[in-house]
Amino acid sequence: MEKLSDVFTVQYLKRLDALFLHMKGKLSTGGYSGARKAKAQGNALEFSDYREYVLGDDLRRIDWNNYARFQKLYMKIFLEEKQATINLWIDQSLSMTEGKKALYSKALAGSVAYIALKNMDKVNFFSWSDGIQSKKLNIQTGQPFIEAVRFLEDLKQGGETSFTKAIGQCSALPLGRGVSIVFSDLLTEDHWKEAVKLLQHKKQEVILVWLLAKEEQSPQIRGAIRMVDKETKQSRDLEITAEVLKSYQKALQGYEAEIREFCKKRDVMFVKIVDSMPLLKAVYALL
């Protein structure tokens, strides 16, 4: 996987279609349901629109009069089935250039967007580092998916990591009452937990995707090295021994435990992804 065009092939999109059909029930009754469902008043449902039938849909919602006219299956959509807004926050700071994290996060975000659009949802993209860098808003079913892929391809890494600053800049942005999925390595001294709380205050159901490079998860380096922070440019000379690696693993596990505990307390879904994981497996784990 060297560029996004290597990912979003016809064959891969077909596999996403199959995954969507498999996950369709969960997307309707779990997952995004908090953003999607409004309380119906009694048993009355007000008709809103039609959409094409997808394998696995409730046959009771098929409009047979339309089938008689057009010889094609259409589903009735009711006002209680509100369109969800899926906000995808992609960390573009310099620390994401380690391993395949930058490309992997774009591919993962693009895959989620594809499935969300299949689910008749609206998608917003936000890239951020030390603030919001770029955005693409109001992507909806019927628009060419290639536009989303081009937006992701054009994203460039740069700057330090400050999710708090990025969320602070979005007060006037149309997040809607929906789902915010954050893709980041969380390698920062920024108070990112406050940003997550702010998203929840903005009526967002938050999913936190912690993305690590394979080398960050299980370092293979040994001996004397000079480590340079990609964002601050600060350097440190180290002798990498078995004991140092043991301490590193302990610190990494401690940080993971801290993130998990925070997410549990805040009712945030937490997903840990390593960039060596097969992409479809990561999409499935996220959904």
pLDDT digits (tens, 9 = 90+) for 136-189: 998 988 778 989 999 999 999 888 888 988 888 877 776 777 899 999 999 888
Provide the pLDDT for residue 190: 81
Provide the pLDDT for residue 159: 83
Provide the pLDDT for residue 77: 66
Provide the pLDDT for residue 179: 94
Provide the pLDDT for residue 204: 92
Write down the domain spans for the chain. Answer: 4-14+83-286, 45-81
Nearest 5°: the CA angle 38, 41, 46 is 80
Instruction: State which residues of the chain have pLDDT below 50.
Output: 29-30, 33-44, 79-80
- 4-14+83-286 maps to which CATH number? 3.40.50.410
pTM across the whole model: 0.81
Provide the pLDDT for residue 81: 52
Provide the pLDDT for residue 79: 47
Q: Report the distance separating Cα 161 and Cα 164, nearest Å.
A: 9
